[in-house]
Amino acid sequence: MDSGFSQRAASYFESLQESICSALTKIDGRSIFREDTWKHAHGGGGRSRVLQEGAVFEKAGVNTSSIRTPLTAATAGRLKMDAREIAASGISLVLHPLNPHVPAVHANFRFLEADNGDWWFGGGADLTPYYLYEEDARHFHGVWKSACDTADASYYPRYKKWCDEYFTVKHRGESRGIGGIFFDDLRGDFDTHFRFIQQCGNAFLGSYAPIVERRRAATYGERERRWQLQRRGRYAEFNLVYDRGTVFGLETEGRVESILMSLPPLARWDYNAVPEPGSSEEKLLAVLRQPKSWI
């Protein structure tokens, strides 16, 4: 694990954190990011940045980490690899807006390198609206298709499908949101895949910021807020039950506060909450139960 690959990846993720946090602070206009640095028990650590109770973002987290950790038999088995130690670097961000007309968004880009010489990149970005605006969906997917196309025209259709399949709340029979891209196990030429990761990381703000500006001033009331909190409950269910990053972080003794940064500050689990027929809420559910193409 002394190839230098991990350090190159970690340096990029840290610079990306700086640029994203700077831009989000300007977008919010009221609150700033609080920063915590932490050390991992087996080497390395991370830098967590969280903005709370802002004008736009009720909670926004942008975390980086670069750690070394031994692998348990269970974790090695799930990763399908014969290794005893792994180095993991990455950036993970989750933004929970206050206005229900502004969608939540998640992105993660990571590099892992094992002591047996194996390494790979993974990542992705996905959008979780509470109210469906097709203009926003087309914009988000269009930016990620463009980012994918710079590397390989086959990436977007493959990674869009992978995203739809991965971000499924199986016990609810619905997707967490309207997808984006998701990929893992990118191996081969480091420089080729690293350029793709950088293209994706640099595309994030362009995929999301225009949507925020279009929706941040939209009016809403108690009904829209209640629906938003109910959908956040679904978001929390996915992250706590199915998300591989959450499981990996907890199993490798990561910082719990940073791992669970992804959870919304408020959520609801109203009993048997069913939207009215023909409503905007039902329109969203129809898409979540049957993902569609946005390009």
Residue 261 tokens read as: 């940064």
pLDDT, residue 64, reads: 97
Residue with tokens 């694990």: 1
CATH architecture of 5-289: 3-Layer(aba) Sandwich (3.40)
pLDDT, residue 264, reads: 96
pLDDT per residue over 60-70, tens digit each? 999 999 988 88
- Alpha carbon distance 125, 166 (integer Å): 12
CB atoms within 10 A of CB 31: 19
pLDDT, residue 244, reads: 83
- Alpha carbon distance 41, 1 (integer Å): 18
Cβ contact 160:141 at 8 Å: yes
Which segments of the chain have a pLDDT < 50? none
Angle, helix 134-149 to helix 190-215, in steps of 10 degrees: 160
- Alpha carbon distance 173, 160 (integer Å): 18
Give the active site residues.
106
Residue 248 tokens read as: 């990996």
CB atoms within 10 A of CB 285: 16
Beta bridge partners of 126: 106, 180
Q: What is the DSSP string of 174-213?
A: EESSSEEEEEEEE-S-HHHHHHHHHHHHHHHHHHHHHHHH
pLDDT, residue 241, reads: 94
Cβ contact 122:197 at 8 Å: no
pLDDT per residue over 200-244, tens digit each? 999 999 999 999 999 999 999 999 999 999 999 999 999 999 988
Q: What is the DSSP string of 50-74?
A: EEES-SSEEEEEEEEEEEEEEPPHH
Q: What is the DSSP string of 2-38?
A: -SSHHHHHHHHHHHHHHHHHHHHHHHH-S---EEEEE
Which residue ranges make up each domain of the chain? 5-289
Reported for 68-77, long-range contacts at CB under 8 A and 24+ positions apart, including other chains, are 68/1, 68/40, 68/42, 68/43, 68/44, 69/40, 69/41, 69/42, 69/43, 69/252, 69/253, 70/42, 71/252, 72/251, 74/251, 75/248, 75/251, 75/252
